[in-house]
Amino acid sequence: MKIAIFGNSASTDFIVQKILKYNNVETVYHLGAPINSLKTDRYIPISFHSDVTVEKNKQFILEFPYKNIVDLILPMNNQYQLWTEFYNKMKNSKAAMLMSNRQVGMLERSKIIGKKFIQEAGIPTSVSKEYNLEELIKEFYNIPRPFVLKYDQYWREELVGKNFLEGANLKSPTIIVTNENYKEEFDLLKKESTDVLTTKFLKNQKFLVEEYINGIREFSYHALINDTSWTYL
């Protein structure tokens, strides 16, 4: 079996090492591998560099399963799941793919969509309230502290370009606002709202403010998913 795995996080490296333990895995192509990765007879790291244009890098990714013999595609980053063209191209290739569609990816991308899904499923979750940028700036000092502030869809994730292809895996920030840092966090928010580089991204941004729950451990469940089934890792 020949596998193409797309990703740059520590979890990607972990999955690569697990896959290579299976004798029936002939080759693992790792697209987005760190530049210092060592090639072996079964592991082929493929890094993306800034000296190649973003569009050429993207085209290379989209054409990879068509120009190489690949039996299974494993996208590990949420950005791939949100990239509709990638999803369509991989689904139309001859390889099987372990990834669900953009709609499911939005449960991670959007804090508000994810929150609503949890509430509709009857899963206990913290009390929360949605704000747009103007409302948040106006009410920021009046929100009881500590509280958790989440960007609904962090603006940097919209920049699917060189940072994405070179290895950045930017997540929506989650900020715990306390009596000690609330002025600093407010100033940072105001700065982003007026900065020429970020204003257009924040214009329609929404925020999720949640109550801070102290002393409760959060657990994550990891699963492999496609359009028809899933299994816990």
Write down the residue that tokens 């657990």 correspond to: 219
Q: What share of the chain is helix, strand, coil (3-state, %, to 5)?
A: 40, 20, 40
Give the model's pLDDT for residue 200: 59
Give the model's pLDDT for residue 34: 87
Q: Give the span between the Cα atoms of 68 and 61, in whole angstroms.
A: 11
Give the model's pLDDT for residue 166: 45
Give the model's pLDDT for residue 168: 43
Write down the pTM of the prediction. Answer: 0.70
**35 within 8 A of 105, measured Cβ to Cβ:** no
**6 within 8 A of 61, measured Cβ to Cβ:** yes
Which residues of the chain fall below pLDDT 70? 50-52, 154-172, 195-203, 216
Question: What structural domains does the chain harbor?
Answer: 2-99 (3.40.50.20), 106-211 (3.30.1490.20)
Q: Which two tokens stand for residue 226?
A: 């496609």
pLDDT tens readout for residues 210-225:
999 887 677 777 777 7
Give the model's pLDDT for residue 50: 64
